[in-house]
Amino acid sequence: MATAAANTIVGMSGGVDSSVAALLLRDSGEALSGLFMQNWADDGSGDCRAEDDRRDAVAVSGRLGLPIHFRDFSGEYWAGVFEHFIAEYAAGRTPNPDVLCNREIKFKYFLDAARELGADYIATGHYARVDQADGRFRLLRALDRGKDQSYFLHQLGQTQLSATKFPLGELIKHDVREMARSAGLPTAAKKDSTGICFIGERDFREFLSRYLPAKQGEIRTPDGQLVGTHPGVFYFTLGQREGLNIGGVRGFEPAPWYVVGKDVAGNVLYVDQGSDSRWLHSQTLWSEPAHWIAGEPPAATFRCSAQTRYRQSDQDCEVHLREDGSLDVRFDQPQRAVTPGQSLVLYAGEVCLGGAVIAATDAPALAGSRLPNSSLTTTP
């Protein structure tokens, strides 16, 4: 649908959050249009929801009287997000594709497309806030801490934040759904998407096996006792309990088993009993080079709080910046299942400072475990 240039273009995902973001901007008198991004091509499984989401985005735009544009970023998504996702799993790490999708697609290609259409700003349905202080833009947590998505947005910088609006940042999710119902939006009762966007409701291991074929190996305890077999170490992540299929093992209590380590080269999965196994705990992590939202770190050494996974409570820590931009982070309290490949995100109160990909931790080392790109032992 053709349209004249709008001051703001809102990313219409076909969900209730982007629908209400568009509603709020329209009601504020914003010169507005929508844009639907297709980020994943149908892979032949019949599980791709893109067409359903597109129909919902069109229906909402029609209800609000907004013109809508369409862009296919599936090629860019494959090259910028999915290939990295597969490579990380193949290396035995656990990546976070939502972080990359925001950096590479939603706040890069979408922003470029909006500017080509003549817009000054983009808007999304993310739960986060933006403000300015001391001449710089800041990314803030959302008012609804249970829905806050600043964790997934920590790779944004000044260019992106200066051109972005988050209309839902001051709202509670329950109120967002009520607004959608009151406005008669067709997405008011639509279920929130969960998990990794391109996997959807499918079995994770089945999906991953299309790109990383099964390779049976041994499951061993930290002291080397054989307790089972697995279809491939890259299907598992630290702290995982489900899918191990370890039955009663002679000499062990009938307690749950958890993944505590992976030897990718040897294709050995290490497990231990008890969710608080000492093999899962660490107090120091090392990261890849960090990204800072302000463009620079607060200091060479500073204290702040951190999250090593989404929706984790704040964990106090001390951060040391290395010469290459990577970080040494020591937590005040031991942390459970800190996972290489996941994101470390740093905060000063409500302000998101930035973050980095976790490279390694000082969790007890297992056979085959090595700190990547480092000669460090478990104590640097």
Look up 352 and say whether it is catalytic.
no
- Condensed to tens digits (0 to 9), the pLDDT of residues 173-195 reads 999 999 999 999 999 999 887 66
Domain 214-275 has CATH 3.40.1190.20: no
**pLDDT band, very low/low/confident/very high, at 380 (cuts 50, 70, 90):** very low
Q: Where are the alpha helices (DSSP H) in 213-324?
A: none
Q: Is residue 378 predicted with pLDDT exceeding 90?
A: no
Query: Which of 169-173, 253-257, 358-362 is predicted with the least confidence, judged by mean pLDDT?
Result: 253-257
pLDDT cut 90: percent of the chain above it: 79
pLDDT at site 28? 95
Ranges of H-type helices in the chain: 16-27, 50-64, 74-77, 83-90, 97-101, 110-116, 158-161, 173-182, 204-209
> How far is the C-alpha of 61 from the C-alpha of 21, rounded, in Å?
12
Alpha-carbon distance of 210 to 204, in angstroms, equals 10
Q: For residues 310 and 128, what is the distance between their CA atoms, to the nearest angstrom? A: 14
pLDDT class of 196 with cuts at 50, 70, 90 = low
Radius of gyration of the chain (CA): 22
From 101, 304, 317, 352, active-site residue: 101
pLDDT score, position 189 = 92
Domain spans, the chain: 8-182, 214-275, 281-361
Q: Which of 190-194, 270-274, 352-356 has the lowest mean pLDDT?
A: 190-194
In this predicted structure, what is the pLDDT of residue 1? Answer: 42
Spatial separation of the C-alpha atoms in residues 42 and 284, rounded to whole Å: 41
The long-range contacts involving 325-329, CB below 8 angstroms and separated by at least 24 positions, are: 325/289, 325/290, 326/286, 326/287, 326/288, 326/289, 326/290, 326/356, 326/359, 327/285, 327/286, 327/287, 327/290, 327/356, 328/284, 328/285, 328/286, 328/380, 329/284, 329/285, 329/286, 329/287
Residue 203's pLDDT is 75
Give 61-65 contacts, CB < 8 A, sequence gap 24+.
61/12, 61/22, 61/34, 63/183, 63/184, 63/185, 63/186, 64/22, 64/23, 64/26, 64/183, 64/185, 65/26
The yes-or-no answer on residue 101 being catalytic is yes
Q: What is the pLDDT of residue 369?
A: 47
The least confident of 3-7, 12-16, 219-223, 246-250 is 3-7
pLDDT at 3: 46
CA distance 331 to 340: 16
CB within 8 A of 46, min separation 6: which ones? none
Residue 372 has pLDDT above 90, yes or no: no
Nearest alpha-carbon partner for 128 in 157, 165, 101, 159? 165
Residue-wise pLDDT for 234-254, tens only, equals 999 999 999 999 988 888 988
Question: From 3.40.50.620, 3.30.1300.10, 3.40.50.2300, 3.10.129.10, which CATH number describes the 8-182 domain?
Answer: 3.40.50.620
Read off the pLDDT of residues 132-155 as tens digits, 9 standing for 90 and up.
999 999 999 999 999 999 999 999
Q: Residue 273: what are its φ and ψ, rounded to 5°? A: -90, 140
Is pLDDT larger for residue 354 or for residue 197? 354
The per-residue pLDDT for range 59-80, each reduced to its tens digit, is 999 999 999 999 999 999 999 9
| Strand 164-165, strand 121-123: pairing | parallel
CATH architecture of the domain with residue range 281-361: Beta Barrel (2.40)
pLDDT at 4 over 80: no
- Higher per-residue confidence, 46 vs 255: 255
Same fold, 214-275 and 281-361: no
Residue 379 has pLDDT above 90, yes or no: no
Annotated catalytic residue: which of 48, 197, 304, 317? 197
Average the pLDDT over 26-41 and give the result. 92
- The whole-number average pLDDT for the span 344-372 is 84
Structure confidence at residue 199 (pLDDT): 64
- The CA–CA distances, whole Å, from 326 to 12, 318, 353, 357, 374 equal 36, 14, 15, 9, 12
Closest listed residue to residue 110, CA positions, set 38, 32, 28: 38
**344, pLDDT greater than 70:** yes
Residue 359: which residues within 8 A CB-CB, separation 6 or more? 285, 286, 287, 288, 326, 340, 371, 372, 373, 374
pLDDT tens by residue, 294-339: 999 999 999 999 999 999 999 999 999 999 999 999 999 999 999 9
Give the mean pLDDT of the chain: 90
Query: 106: helix, coil or strand?
Result: helix
